[in-house]
Amino acid sequence: MEFATADLIDDFDAELASCETQFRQYGARAVFAGPIATIRCHRDNALVKKVLNGPGEGRVLVVDGGGSLASALMGDLIAAAAVEQGWAGVVINGAVRDVATLRTLDLGIKALGSNPRKSAKAGDGDTDVPVTFGGVDFAPGAWLYSDEDGIVVASRRLH
């Protein structure tokens, strides 16, 4: 899939929300898009591991970790599982770890930063719920488009 988020804004401005959060790029796939799946969790990545070890079918997992950088919500093992399961990308409003390895994986990965600390594994959180950050509502089933310029979200597939 080839697109540029700036071109999508030019062509579909009224249909798009543009995320104001400034994420860092960690995965080898700089441009990615797909239907959204969501998780809301805080310093606990058990749901992230569970979901990314399931069929991705070209989707993008949006994880609202509340912006916490205190511990990582995804590392190299979970990200490698996401690649194997066919996920297009992961956007984490929080931290990742194992960044040297993440750079080698064919997966779109955006996060606020990194922290080597592991997160809890209790399974606290919610899946398939709307999450909001950066001025955007990320609803399950909506479409996320991401490139070097940022992230835009539409209620339908545009490209």
76 marked as binding residue: yes
Residue 120 near residue 93 (C-beta atoms within 8 A): no
Task: Return d(Cα 48, Cα 65) in angstroms, integer.
Answer: 10
Q: Which is it for strands 89-96 and 60-64: parallel, antiparallel or unpaired?
A: parallel
98 is in an annotated binding site: yes
Residue 78 in marked binding region:
yes
DSSP state for residue 134 in the 8-state scheme = T
Q: Does 75 show up as a binding residue in the annotation?
A: yes
What distance in Å separates the CA atoms of residue 78 and residue 83, rounded to the nearest whole number? 9
Distance of CA 119 to CAs 75, 110, 125, Å? 10, 18, 13
User: Is residue 73 helix, strand or coil?
Assistant: strand
CB 139 within 8 A of CB 66: no
Residues contributing to the annotated binding site:
75-78, 97-98
Residues contributing to the annotated binding site for Mg(2+):
98
Residues contributing to the annotated binding site for substrate:
75-78, 97
